[in-house]
Amino acid sequence: MRDRLLTALGVVAAGGGLALAFPRMHWDGIAWLAVAPWLVVALMNSPRAAFFWCWLGGTAFFLGLLQWLNFTFMTFSAIPFPLTWLPTLALSAYCGLWIALVAAAVAWIGGRSAGGALALAPFAWVAAEWGRGHLFGGFPWGLIGYTQYARLPAIQVAELGGVYAVSFLIIAVNAAVAGVVLLPWRRALAGAALAGILLGLSLGFGEWRLRETAPTDTVRVGVMQPSIEQPLKYDPNHAATTLGIYLALSRRAADDRPELLVWPETATPTPLARDAGLVALLRSLAASLKAPLVVGSIDVEGGSPLVLRNTAFLLTERGVEGRYDKMHLVPFGEYVPLSGVIGFVRGWAEFISELEPGTRTVVFPGPPAPFGVVICYEGIFPELVRDFAKNGARLIVNITNDAWFGRTSGPLQHLAMYPFRAVEHRTAVVRSANTGVSAFVGPTGRIERRLPLYERDVMTSPVPLRTGTTLYTRFGDWIAYLGLAVSALVLGERALRTVTAR
């Protein structure tokens, strides 16, 4: 009983520690050690026990990481406290299953070779992260590589293999630490040396890339953060005030002569395409600025039933020049999965909508240069942003509305993913967020400028344009595919040996 209690405390403490490696705390060094206890527990137990213990630890990790969701349910849903924790717990338990599967695989291979199991761990981990980011619509939040977003030398390898390359590196170090605990000293030393070489090469590559000359082809972009509380965004009584805030910020930006001005997601208080007066106002604004506008709005089409889309419009003095409809919608936010069965949940919360997804990526040709717009949640999907880069975008614009998450760690965790989108394609990312965090991210992943949460302001800055194509742009998530292949081969070989031994 005492051993079980100690194991439970250990896996939960490791999960809690790993959550602290992400914003808001951002004790990022913990990530290089926090997974090692799970690997040790996996190798000291049967696959079934390893699955259970690391599911517990993984659930604890995601509960700590995703606690900001509880604010959303408490503030904008009809679910009474403390039942507001149930959706967060359910999502955390689901995400924890992927960690449990890695632990079970390590335990199963460890029955024959502990060293082989630890060598498998980085491959199995990135395969699981990729799976979590794709199955059932995908939820790639909290990939362990994101803990290093501010460690620029460590994240430059993302141009080779995306965020999964950084995750692979972190788990390789954790596996080496677990090996020091469990393996004979010679084998432990060999594993530590291999992980050290891998880490050294990655950091050396990062330092070299950071010394590269920055692109000289730039455009001036303005982003605004209006800081409008969520309950007021669509309040008809506040519509004039909302537009007044945007217009005042736009005129302030005009002093810096932006070549592109970005408003955040769902900025307009009325559907833009159905409001001729608003379109005329924005045409006049674009003419006075001598710059196009990117404006987020809910778009409405049809009669009965209405078709709603989350859209980014490009406007110039000639009017609407282009549009991009959000393709990857937020489950239980912008649509209800299996709505024929569980559609009743729409009545639980005001943030649950039923939007229609877009069907294709759109690269706006400019002016001032070809750019793509990813809307809110879409930016956390590496392969979606890659589509814009492959189609010629020289700049990535992210518009978002994180007002649903208040002053929690959610908006900070969201921002931490965009340095990776920048490094993956060596493209700048400009971000306009309703309540924050708005930012300019350089091609090296450095967050050059940002606005604090709930600060109303506008920023204008010269932004470098993408000039080349990275390995990641060409080949995408190849490290994740390698992880899937290696895991399948190793586990398949183990299964074959088990069958033939009977």
Give the residue numbers annotated as catalytic, written as ranges. 265, 326, 376
Q: Give the CA radius of gyration of the chain.
A: 24
The residue type at 67: Q
Q: What is the rounded distance in angstroms from the CA atom of residue 8 to the CA atom of residue 49?
A: 11
Beta carbons of 467 and 425 less than 8 angstroms apart? no
Which long-range contacts (C-beta less than 8 Å, at least 24 apart) are formed by 186-193? 187/115, 191/115, 191/118, 191/119
Question: Which of helix, strand or coil describes residue 265?
Answer: coil
Taking each helix axis from N to C end, the angle separating 85-110 and 68-76, rounded to the nearest 10 degrees, works out to 150
Q: What is the rounded distance in angstroms from the CA atom of residue 353 to the CA atom of residue 344?
A: 12
* 143: its two tokens: 């990939």
CA nearest 329: which of 83, 75, 499, 139? 139
Q: What DSSP string describes 3-39? A: HHHHHHHHHHHHHHHHHHTSTTT--GGGHHHHTHHHH
Residue with tokens 């920023």: 459
Q: What DSSP string describes 229-255? A: -GGGTT-GGGHHHHHHHHHHHHHHHHT
